[in-house]
Amino acid sequence: MAARAGGRTRSLLVWAVLALAICVPIAAAAGSPLLAWRQPVYIIAGFAGIGAMALLLLQPLLAAGLLPGLTLQRARRIHRWIGGALVALVVLHVGGLWITSPPDVVDALLFTSPTPFSAWGVIAMWALFGAAVLAGLRHRLRPRLWRRVHTALALVIVAGSIVHALLIDGTMETVSKVALCALVLVATLKAVAGARAWTIKRR
């Protein structure tokens, strides 16, 4: 009984920490004074990017089955749904920025933008699109090859997104942004290390 209660408490604690890690940066950004001078389309585009960064925290935890209360099969199904949501949010993010300033988006896509964060964002975007295409080809590739390529793309997505977010001095509050980025990095490395250890054990 005590063990069951302890497990339930741990589960609630994990979900509470995740909820705070996702909601606090979004709430802090919503209170940014910089929003007063932004167009609605720009604000929507910005929050699409923030939302994508928040969802990125869940992806490695779901893929590795590290979230309590979810079976591995259900967690990976949700992982695929969130992958689709990430693609939609990134398209909304870039599309909104295109509406407000097409030249800046063109410069970013061509890697000629004077702002370093743009290049990292574009790299993460193309890696995300590549991962989405790879997900559709999963049953046509050998499982080991698929996992390696998917993992490599996931690492590029996470690294590019973190650097992109940290280099931007915008609506996101600094402390909550850094904390979110750190959690995304730790979750990703833990998931990758766990998958690698399981592969070695099976061999």
The torsion angles phi and psi of 101, rounded to 5 degrees, stand at -155, 80
Q: Is 112 in a helix, a strand, or coil?
A: coil
* The pLDDT value given to residue 10: 84
What's the rounded Cα separation, in Å, for the pair 66 and 83?
Answer: 17
What's the rounded Cα separation, in Å, for the pair 122 and 193?
Answer: 26
* The pLDDT value given to residue 7: 65
* The pLDDT value given to residue 200: 47
- Residue numbers of the chain with a pLDDT score lower than 50: 2, 197-198, 200-201
* The pLDDT value given to residue 1: 56
Token digits for 97?
């920025």
For 139, other C-beta atoms within 10 Å of its C-beta total 7
Q: Buried b vs exposed e over 40-64: b needs ≥16 C-beta within 10 Å?
A: eebbebbbbbbbbbbbbbbbbbbbb
CA-based end-to-end distance of the chain: 37
